[in-house]
Amino acid sequence: MTKKPKTKSHEVPTPAPNETATAQNTFCGPHRKLPPVKALADEDVPLLDRLLHATMGRVYGLSPAALGLTYADWLTHLALAPGKQAELAGSATDKMTRLADFILRQSYGSQPMECCAEPLPQDRRFVDPGWNEWPFNLYQQGFLLTERWWQEATNVRGMSQHHAAVRPFIARQILDMWSPLNFPLTNPRIMKAAAEQGGLNFLRGAQNLMDDWQRLVAKQPAAGMEAYEVGENIAVTPGKVVYQNRLIELIQYAPATSDVYAEPLLIVPAWIMKYYILDLSPENSLVKYLVDQGHTVFMISWKNPGSEDRDLGNRDYRELGIMDALEAINAIVPKQKIHAVGYCLGGTLLSIAAAAMARDGDDRLKSVTLFAAQVDFEEAGELLMFIDESQLAWLEDTMWEKGYLDRRKMTGTFQLLRSRDLFWSHMIENYLLGERTPPNDMMAWNSDATRMPFEMHSEYLRELFLNNDLAEGHFRVGGRPVALTDIRVPIFAVGTQRDHVAPWRSVYKINLLTDTDVTFLLTSGGHNAGIVSEPGHPHRTYQVATLNSLEKFVSPQEWCDRTPSLEGSWWPEWNAWLTRQSDGKSKPPATGAPGKGYSGLRDAPGEYVLMK
Say if residues 357 and 282 touch (Cβ distance below 8 Å): no
- The answer as to whether 358 is a domain residue is yes
pTM (two decimals): 0.87
pLDDT at 424: 87
Task: Give the pLDDT band (50/70/90) at residue 299.
Answer: very high
Residues 251 and 151 in one domain: no
Cα-based angle 466, 161, 474 (whole degrees, multiple of 5): 25
φ and ψ at 276, to 5 degrees?
A: -75, 10
Between residues 472 and 110, the one the model is more confident about: 472
Predicted pLDDT of residue 550: 84
The answer to whether the CB of 349 falls within 8 A of the CB of 320 is: no
DSSP 237-295: S-EEEEEE-SSEEEEEEPP-SSSEESS-EEEE--TTS-GGGGS-SGGG-HHHHHHHTT-
Domain boundary (155, 180, 205) is at 155
DSSP labels for 151-187?
HHHT--TT--HHHHHHHHHHHHHHHHHT-GGGSGGG-
Nearest Cα residue to 325 out of 219, 252, 414: 252
Residues 243 and 125 in one domain: no
In the chain, % helix, strand, coil (3-state, to 5) comes to 50, 10, 40
Q: What is the pLDDT of residue 9?
A: 39
Q: pLDDT above 70 covers what percent of the chain?
A: 90
Nearest CA among 277, 275, 265, 286 for reference residue 329? 265
pLDDT > 90 in the chain, percent: 65
DSSP state of 334: T
Q: Is residue 265 part of a domain?
A: yes
Final residue in a domain of this structure, among 128, 155, 182: 155
Q: Which position has the higher pLDDT, 119 or 214?
A: 214
Q: pLDDT (tens digit, 9 = 90+) per residue, 2-18?
A: 444 444 333 333 333 33
95 pLDDT above the threshold of 70: yes
Are 473 and 570 members of one domain?
yes
pLDDT of residue 8: 39
Higher pLDDT pick, 359 / 450: 359
Identify the pLDDT of residue 5. 43
User: Within this chain, do residues 150 and 250 fall inside the same structural domain, yes or no?
Assistant: no
Residue 421 confidence (pLDDT) above 60 = yes
**Residue 211: inside a domain, yes or no?**
no
Residue 311 pLDDT > 50:
yes
Counted domains in the chain? 2
Give the pLDDT confidence score for residue 16 in this predicted structure: 37
pLDDT of residue 163: 86
Pair 135, 259 in one domain: no
DSSP label of 465: I
Confidence tier at 21 by pLDDT (50, 70, 90)? very low
The reported pLDDT for the residue numbered 382 is 74
Active site residues: 344
Query: Is 196 within a domain?
Result: no
Residues 135 and 274 in one domain: no
Q: Which residues pair with 484 in a beta bridge?
A: none
The answer to whether residue 424 sits within a structural domain is no
| Mean pLDDT score, 93-100 | 92
Does residue 59 sit in helix, strand or coil? coil
Parallel, antiparallel, or unpaired: how do β-strands 491-496 and 518-523 relate? parallel
Q: Considering the domain boundaries, does residue 279 fall inside one?
A: yes
Top-ranked range on mean pLDDT: pick from 285-294, 375-384, 450-459:
285-294
What pLDDT does 110 receive? 54
The answer to whether the Cα torsion of 213, 216, 222, 226 is positive or negative is negative
Q: Which of 134, 155, 176 is the last residue of a domain?
A: 155
Please give the Cα distance from 466 to 468 (Å, whole number): 6
Compute the C-alpha angle 364/290/579, nearest 5°. Answer: 60
State the pLDDT at residue 111: 54
Q: Nearest-CA neighbor of 253 among 268, 270, 241, 269? A: 241
Mean pLDDT of 492-500: 94
pLDDT value of position 47: 75
Of the candidate ranges 24-33, 238-247, 411-420, 601-610, the one whose mean pLDDT is the lowest? 24-33
Establish if 256 belongs to a structural domain: yes
Query: Does residue 542 surpass a pLDDT of 60?
Result: yes
Distance CA 433, CA 419 (A): 18
Query: What pLDDT digit, counting tens, does each position of 258-279 carry?
Result: 999 999 999 999 998 899 999 9
Give the model confidence (pLDDT) of 547-589 as tens digits: 988 888 999 999 999 999 999 999 999 999 999 999 999 999 9
pLDDT, residue 2, reads 40
Task: Work out the average pLDDT over 365-380.
Answer: 95
Q: Which of 280, 270, 327 is nearest to 302 (CA)?
A: 270
Q: How many residues does the chain have?
A: 612
Asked whether 51 and 400 are in contact (CB, 8 A), the reply is: no
In terms of domains, do 128 and 262 share one? no
Whether residues 374 and 509 share a domain: the answer is yes
Asked if residue 257 and residue 135 are part of one domain, the reply reads no
Residue 501 domain boundaries? 239-406+451-610
Q: Are strands 365-371 and 566-567 parallel, antiparallel or unpaired?
A: unpaired
Residue 416: what pLDDT?
A: 67
Round the average pLDDT of the chain to a whole number and report it: 87
Contact (Cβ atoms closer than 8 angstroms) between residue 312 and residue 261: no
Please say whether the beta carbons of 591 and 600 come within 8 A: yes
Least Cα distance to 10 among 357, 349, 359, 352 occurs for: 359
Which pLDDT band holds residue 30 (cuts at 50, 70, 90)? very low
Q: Return the closest-CA partner of residue 187 out of 144, 116, 137.
A: 137
User: Is the model's pLDDT at 33 over the cut of 70?
Assistant: no
Q: Tell me the pLDDT band of 63, cut-offs 50, 70 and 90.
A: confident
Q: What is the CATH number of the domain that holds 354?
A: 3.40.50.1820
If asked whether residues 133 and 274 sit together in one domain, one would say no
Q: Are residues 151 and 243 in the same domain?
A: no
Beta strands in 386-464 (DSSP E): 404-405, 452-453
Same structural domain, 151 and 291:
no
Average pLDDT over residues 142-162: 92
